[in-house]
Amino acid sequence: MRSILIAGSLLLAASVFGQEAAKPALTLDQIMEKSIEASGGKAAFEKMTSTVATGTIEITAMGITAANKTYAKAPDKHLSVTTLDGYGEVLEGFDGKIAWKQDPQSGLSVIDGEALGQAQRDGAFYGALRWKELYPKSEVAGKDKAQGRDCWMVKLVPASGRPVMRCFDAETFLMTKAVNPGPDGADIPVELSDYKDIGNGVKMAHTVKLTVPQLGDMVIRFAEVKTNVEIDDAKFAKPKE
């Protein structure tokens, strides 16, 4: 009888130990707060009202490099302008309510459905600080590897729409990998590197590599980022047809 009780106690202890060992060493709140601090801290983010980033987009498989300029303005406006020689401008914008895109081949169109929700979240200027509001059903997904280093994988789940994955370096807590929802249910893996101070204490990745289905690798390189630039709201508005 004694041996049965001892065995039962050992099994219970092993079960409890296994449950404790399975728990993440850091909570979701701790990981996200550490990532905010690593990127410059809440106070530095809140001092920004706008950014203008200039750089290039390289589509590796096609041997194409295009000029890109990205405008963002608090609280929720965003515009990307990509210029391809011999083709023209490709624009993607969000004015706080309407998401839209325009290119020489397809013309002007309004983005709706799940893609609109994604545009709204992408357009959130203080997105890193507002993660609980934007992704209310989130959790720690465990450890992973990114660029040969350990990272914490976080699953960020919006109230509606597909979740996104974010991987934060286990030492620096800068985001080094992500998986974003793409069109037609596909996922778009993203790698972020070359973090630099943009002049106000905030660190931003200056190289971003996306792997896009049917297109391959797309590498965005930012050469210059300016903050607190005056930008007219009209810049983000959907063009007249």
Q: Looking at 39-158, list the stretches that DSSP marks H as alpha helix, in order from N- to C-terminal side.
A: 42-46, 113-122, 131-134
pLDDT along the chain (241 residues), means of 10: 36 40 77 97 96 96 93 96 94 95 95 88 91 95 94 95 95 96 85 96 97 91 97 95 74
Q: Which domains does the chain have, with CATH numbers?
A: 28-236 (2.50.20.10)
pTM: 0.85
Residue 180 to residue 175: CA distance in whole angstroms:
13
Rounded-to-integer distance, Cα 220 and Cα 188, Å? 14
Nearest by Cα to 42 from 200, 176, 194: 200
Strands (E), the chain: 50-59, 64-73, 77-84, 88-94, 99-103, 107-111, 139-146, 149-156, 164-169, 175-181, 187-197, 203-212, 216-227
